[in-house]
Each structure stands twice: as C-alpha cells, then as structure tokens.
Amino acid sequence: MGPGFGYVLLLALLPQLILAGVALVCALVAALRPGERPDLFRWLACIGLAGAVAACGFDVYGMRLNRNHIALQLWNGGLSVDHFSLFVTVTVCVFAFITCLVSDTYLRRIPSRSGGFFALVLLATAGVSAVASEHEIIALFVSLQLVLLALVGIAAVVKTEEESGAVAWRTLADGAIASALLLYGLAVLYGISGSDGLGALTAAQGRAPALSAVGIALVLAGMTFFAGLFPLRRWLVSCVDLLQAAPAGFVVTMGTTAGAVALLRFGPGGVGGANAVWAWLTSVVALIGMTHAALRALRAVRVRELAAAMVSGQSALLVLSLLASGTGASGAAAQGSAAFLFALAVFGLGTLATFATVAMVQNAGLRDSVAGFRGLAHRSPGVAVLLSFALATLAGVPPLGGFIARLFIVTSAVDAGYGWLAVVSVAASALAAVPAVRLIAAMYAEPGDELPFTLAATPRLGRMAATFCCLSAFFLTVLAQPLLLLARAGAGPIP
C-alpha cells in the first residue's frame, strides 16, 4: 500500500465515517446523560446527515474532470466511490433527515430511548451507503448485516407494547434465514470464480453453469427478504402493522432500498445483466412479486396494510428495472439503471410521505381502517389532501412522480426485450391502484358520525416535514427532468 492509501481510504469512507461517528456521539451522550432532552439527539443526527451530504459534494467536486464517473477506487475496485454510490448516499440521507423530523411526537413519549433511536437511524443510513459502494462479496454481505441489525434495533427500541416488541425478534429470525441463503449462494459463487470481487462472477459462469445457477438462485432467494418481496416479506408486514407509523416508514424504506441496491450491485454490476440464468430467475422474482403485491393490495382493509402491499409492489418494479440493463432494442444502452435510481428516490419519498401522514392521523387518535378514514376531508381537509398526494404517488396515479417512475421503468423494460413483464407490471399497478383510489374517494365521501379532530398532538416541525414530503410528489412531477438527469449521471458507472 502506498503512503497515500490512508488518506484515500478516509476520503472514500468519509460519509459513512461521519454518520458512524455522530451515531457514536449520540450513544455516548445517551449513556452518560440519560436525562438529556430528545431534541438534542435529533439535531445531532441532522448535523451528521448534513455532514455526510457535504462529504458527497466534496467527492463530486473531485471527480468533475474524471470521465469514467469514478472518484476513488480501493482494493482493486472492491470499494468504489462513483456517481451511483453518491446518488444513493444523498438519497438515503434525505430519507433519514425526514424521519428525524417526523418522529418527534413518538420519541417524546419515550425520551430515554431517543439517543439509541437516532444512533441506529444513522447506522442504518451508513449501512445502505456502504452497500452502494461495495464491489466485493464479503464487504457487501457485512454491509447488509449492518443494515439488518440497525433496523432490528430500531424495531426493538420503538416498541410500546409486548406485541410490537416481538417484531424485532421476528425480523431478526427471518433475516437470519435470508442471510444464510445469501451467504451460501455467495460462497458457491466464490468457490467457482476463485475471487471475492463481484466483477469476477461474469467470467466464471462458464466453469460450472449448473452450480452457478444454484448460487444465483440462493442469492436471489436471500435478497427477497431485504427487498421486501414474496416469499420473505413477513418482516415488512409485521413492521408496518405493529410499529408506530413514522419509525415503520423508515424501517421499510431503508430495508427495501438496501435490498434493491444490493441486487443491482450483484446483478448488472456482478454476474452481468446479460446472464441467462440471472435474467430468468430475476424475471420470475419480479413477476411473482408484482402479482402477489397487487393481490395483497386488493385484499387490504387497513391503510397501513395497503401501504405495505404497495411498497412491496414498488420493490418488484425496481427488480424489473434491473433487467433493463445492457443494450436495448434500438442499439443504444438501455435506461434501466437510470430508471432504477429515479424510481428509488420517488418511491422512497412516497413511502415516507404516506407513513408520515398516517402518523399524524395516528397521533390524533383516528383508527387505522378504510372505514375510519371515510369522510376525512370533512374533518381535516389538509390531512386529506396530503394523504391523497402520498397514496396517489404510491399507486402511480398520473401525473405524479410515482407514475413517471413507473413509465420510465416500463419503457426501459420494453426496450430491453421484456415487454411481457412490462404488461404484467402495468396490470399489477392498475390493480394495486384500485384500493388506493377507492380510499381517496372515501375520504371525500359524505361525512359520517365522526367528529373533527386536531393535529395539535403532532409538533409543527413534524407537520411541516410531512407536508413537504407529501407535496414532493407534485414537485417531482415539475422537477422530473433534473432528477432524471441526476439519475442518468448516477447510472453512468453501472454496466
């Protein structure tokens, strides 16, 4: 290693180090001063997130003259800081920042756990950022485990009753099964390739095709847990059902983001998007995921149950975008990776917006059922408008950002030769949108016997953050072109 290796390593890991360092500060302050007010930890976390984004800006400035879109590479490319990893890091920092602002009401009820909560939020954010930078099997697996443990810790910290406390154990148990499948699959592929680099997996496919197929299948099976897809999606449903709305929104958003990013690193960035086994198995995962999510949405009787189904459907669409890599039918590069990044940002904001609005309603004491939301516009018009924007974004109702993201994914899939999956995705999205539109219509239906309610239980800062998050669905429609340009820049380093 050269004399400048430590300096380069520091620059490459600077966003993650800032997040981990501030998380450690939060944990130490909580341990040494247990009576400290929750606001201190929230603003410490926000400062850490701002520092991580600033570090990303420093890296972007450093690569402005680099045409390969890569700022730093270490360990023969095992760790790479490029436009893709920086896009993901900034995106998840925004997700975490929104969560810090909308979780205030709940954390005031358990001030003694605030330090631990915000420390785990920062660690989960650092873990997802690390997943986006890894090109090496072991580091990718360890980064996913960090995300899993941080999210399990959040589920344990925010428990308010025995049933919600069991969510952490269920998630940990399911995560252990998924991690075992993932580890076995990666071990098989490592044995075939003889290298721990993801880039070496493509060249090793011809050595043992059958065994390679087994390894890829095991990895995909394990990844369905992190992406929140059938059959290992029970953790997502449990978190949405039993955790408080604001922390639940963060857990499912960061979990599915980590899973989708890891799949991109393993697929187009590892075994290769043109690999027949990868393409066939991923098509099956996307097909089953979209169909199952649409059917679950049609059967939903509660708002959060509907949101969980639509989040799972969004993950399936992200998997579909991974297939649209390489060369398209026109001879130009397919835009699946750019569609992936654009949808990643839009879907995450839509999910957080939905749960932030549900959290406000939950704080006001409204029951979580479609019947309970009937006539909501007559009792609280502002909340009804915000929830309508959030649900419409999740459902992909035109012309909001969720629709543009779906349109981008579908056109990319058609260009890559997956027209049949594009048709399935359109049908599944339409089916999942039916209960969402029905719920929005119910909110503006004739008022029942329910009385108006106040949002005073939610602090003004939390309401402002939730409002911004919900209205971002409209802003992303207007600003879709700049975000698409950023997504295309972020997709540059991906094969």
Cβ atoms of residues 45 and 96 within 8 Å: yes
Cα separation of 238 and 346, whole Å? Answer: 24
Cα separation of 262 and 226, whole Å? Answer: 9
For the record, the structure tokens of 365 come out as: 């004491």
Reply yes or no: is the peptide bond before residue 493 cis, omega within 30 of 0.
no
Instruction: Output the furthest CA–CA distance in the chain (Å, rounded).
Output: 74
Cβ atoms of residues 78 and 130 within 8 Å: no
User: Is the CA virtual torsion 159, 161, 162, 167 positive or negative?
Assistant: negative
Provide the residue-wise pLDDT of the chain in tens; the chain has 495 residues. Answer: 555 556 666 777 889 999 999 999 999 998 888 878 878 899 999 999 999 999 988 877 766 656 555 566 666 666 778 888 889 999 999 999 999 988 877 777 777 788 899 999 999 999 999 999 888 888 899 999 999 999 999 998 887 666 666 888 889 999 999 999 999 999 998 888 887 777 777 766 677 888 888 999 999 999 999 999 988 888 998 898 888 888 999 999 999 999 999 999 898 877 766 678 888 999 999 999 999 999 999 998 888 899 999 999 999 999 999 988 765 555 455 577 888 988 999 999 999 999 988 888 877 777 777 777 888 888 788 888 888 888 998 899 888 889 999 999 999 899 888 999 999 999 999 999 999 999 888 888 766 555 566 666 677 777 788 888 887 766 776 665 666 666 666 555 565
Cα separation of 175 and 40, whole Å? Answer: 32
Q: Which residues contact 54 (CB under 8 A, 6 or more apart)?
A: none
End-to-end CA gap in the chain: 28
Q: Which of 443, 426, 344, 345 is nearest to 391 (CA)?
A: 443
